[in-house]
Structure 1
């Protein structure tokens, strides 16, 4: 895979993938505002799947788990402008405002596709990526501009951007059953369920009577088997959507568990 990235600051980058596809499982530490220049993206979350393409603009809230698969399209690379809306920047912005938040703020991906104000703001960043040095103040102004536009076109976005709460201790079993397909370090699951590593392992053993890694592999294989049998899905698609790093590891683990390779299920159908 050939990946290129140009940065204005650590919070604003031009991202480009030129290979067949790129897949990653991510927990976003910051809200991410993304504008598509070319290519396609498939984002799989526990309760929804999204597709984005050229011209689309969307906001991914922080602390969300997702599998992201990026594809080139029509001979063009997967290219996006990505802006991180960090907690520090948002605290600074909202410190001057009196905002009342709703208790049940939506944490779903928010789409603002082809909105002229946002597109103008984000597309105006492209020339800056060719500069060797850009004053920090200018980059900060562009982020402030983007936040202000979001608040103008979406009256509910404050419930996302101005919510600075960190994850508290939640029911571990329910959370893991909903999110086991995301291939993240154990420490990330600890953080998102409000636990230390020691407490997480102890509570996990109590809930599932096995180690986290063994349970995760088992659940991912069960989900893969279901997709292959019921959806007639391709092994290459299933592999990445259920949380495996690569196809060879998935095929090995699948055959060890079920006694036959994933491709054999396709041959039987």
Structure 2
């Protein structure tokens, strides 16, 4: 039999059948043929595919865990957002309530201010009325003081050089220019009252001599410094003498004359 080439054998159906049967029966031969037919890269492909499958599986697990963690964070953030929204709603409600209360308080304050303004005007009217009454009924007291004070002062060696009655805030004050026994001249401001009790008459004369408008009037009228505070009363009640001494104010009574000597500066 004439030898055949490989190509001729592969064209022979009997040879091809026997070759396939041999592949089925002989695993070693089959592996050898496979190695001859496949390249190293193709042979290594299943292993590479397996490694790739494992890597894909690991990456999928990592991504899945990341997705689960993201879901957990999203859930936590959603819960926090809901709490913040609830707090904002509560604060908005509180602000509305505060605004309502402020509006109500503002309205009440406006009413109170209006009432205060009305009362202030009533007090002013009352003061004007009282001032007119004191001026009307108290003028006799000032006239009596203007008549008696020079006598009381003369008994102590003092001389009244001139006198004036001046009205401020509806009240009349007796102002005397007095020459002391040593020749000095001073000004006595006399607060005249019908009845003297409590600290108010003494506080009034001290307020008067501290009043800038009143001191300006004294200066314009030529009354000399220093200015001496004195209270004159038709009747003096218990405690008035101690109060005069405490506040440093002279005290005279229509019946007795000098009760507390006025505080005179050193010469």
Question: Looking at CA atoms only, which structure, 1 or 2, has the larger radius of gyration?
Answer: 2
Structure having the higher helix fraction is 2
Range class of TM-score, shorter chain: under 0.3
- TM-score (normalizing by structure 2): 0.21
Instruction: Determine which structure has greater relative contact order: mean sequence separation of CA pairs < 8 Å that are 6+ residues apart, divided by chain length.
Output: 1
